[in-house]
Amino acid sequence: MRAEAPVSVRVGLIFLLPIIGLAIYLDGLRQESERLRLPVEMRRSDPISQTLTPSKIPRFSRLGKVRYYSTDTLYEYINGHAEHYISAGFKALAVSEYRIESNANGADGEVEQPDLVVDLFDMGKPLHAFGILMDEGGGSLKAVDVGDMGFGGERNLAFFQSRFFFKVTGFRDNLDLISIGEFLADLVPKGSDDKEISLRFPDLGVVQSTKYIKEDFHGIDFMDSVLERSYHVADGGVVTAFIMLSSDQEIARVVESLRAFHDAEQISYGERRLGSLGLTRVDDPFEGVWHYHHAQGRLFGLFGVLPEALIPKLQQFLSSSDVAVSSSQQANNGTHEQDENNNPIQPEETSPQEENGSQPY
């Protein structure tokens, strides 16, 4: 027969269990406290390559260490605006402060203040970086040729290169922020994801705005990550083009969903020809007449009435094998597509609504 433990032992165990639990709890608090005391650069969960945060850039030396922020700590740096970045695809942020090398050694007891601050956001995808640039840039800033696209002012520069969004802020007058931006952009390695954003819209008129719509394009819940550009065209009207890039399978799924949506809403649509190209025309009671064309992992569409003189430019753009049109192709956008007899190709079909030399694309 098994002997039972003395009563005193059993009572001791009962009191010991809460003590063990309390010890485990206090140890957890200690570890969390130590984690919070770690420098922010040691708490990052998605670090940015050190090659993108150099210790020196032309004329400048970095002050101190790079500060890193994740989705959990971003609010510490941009409190009140962090959710906007996170919802736009934010992955990580590296903040570097720089001082002009001639000022690198301050007077005794003087706190070194930066002459330049570089905020480097990893947005995960080039389209996300573009979207943040469109939100943060513009306004009083003017377009500049830095990175894939940028805006600059006297003391501010914002641009994106691949999936990275840069904010460069100067704290002195007459800093050459453009040269600094070019230096930083060159540090970004070229990768396969660059094709996702290295696109151009057709030259259809005077650009009024360019936007990135992360989701629910025109209220369509299955159309996400869309670029949209509005133009004033030659006849004084306004047209809006959009481009969506994805895999062939995803674009095919979106087109199938569009047709199912139009069928369910009893919105009229049908095929038409633009030279050798097949287009889908949609007679939308809410958006008006619009067209779209899909091929090779892209969906291109146009809302509005396009003057007939611009049709050849559109044909050339849609006939290109890649959305990423080279600079030389952009310069020749005015060249008409020609048939084997060197005659301009004209639309094979016209709409009863076409008037005054314009047609709904």
| pLDDT tens per residue, range 242-258 | 998 778 888 999 999 99
pLDDT value of residue 177: 95
Which among 280, 282, 287, 277 has a CA at the least distance from the CA of 316? 277
Q: Phi and psi dihedrals of 65, rounded to 5? A: -95, 160
The domains of the chain, with CATH numbers, are 50-192 (3.40.1000), 206-359 (no CATH)
Each residue of 218-246: pLDDT tens digit? Answer: 888 999 878 888 899 887 789 999 998 77
**Buried b or exposed e, range 273-304, using 16+ CB within 10 angstroms:** ebbebebbbbbbeeeebbbbbbbebbbbbbbb
Strands (DSSP E) contained in 179-315 are 206-213, 226-232, 238-245, 268-274, 277-284, 288-295, 298-303, 306-307
pLDDT value of residue 43: 43
Distance CA 282, CA 303 (A): 10
pLDDT value of residue 333: 33
Beta partners for residue 149, in sequence order: 160
pTM reported for the whole predicted model:
0.56
Which among 186, 123, 132, 178 has a CA at the least distance from the CA of 156? 178
Intervals of the chain under pLDDT 70: 1-18, 20-23, 25-47, 103-111, 137-140, 191-200, 320-361
Please report the sign of the dihedral spanned by the C-alpha atoms of residue 27, residue 31, residue 32, residue 33. Answer: positive
H-assigned helices in the chain: 7-37, 82-87, 126-136, 177-187, 248-264, 311-319, 327-331
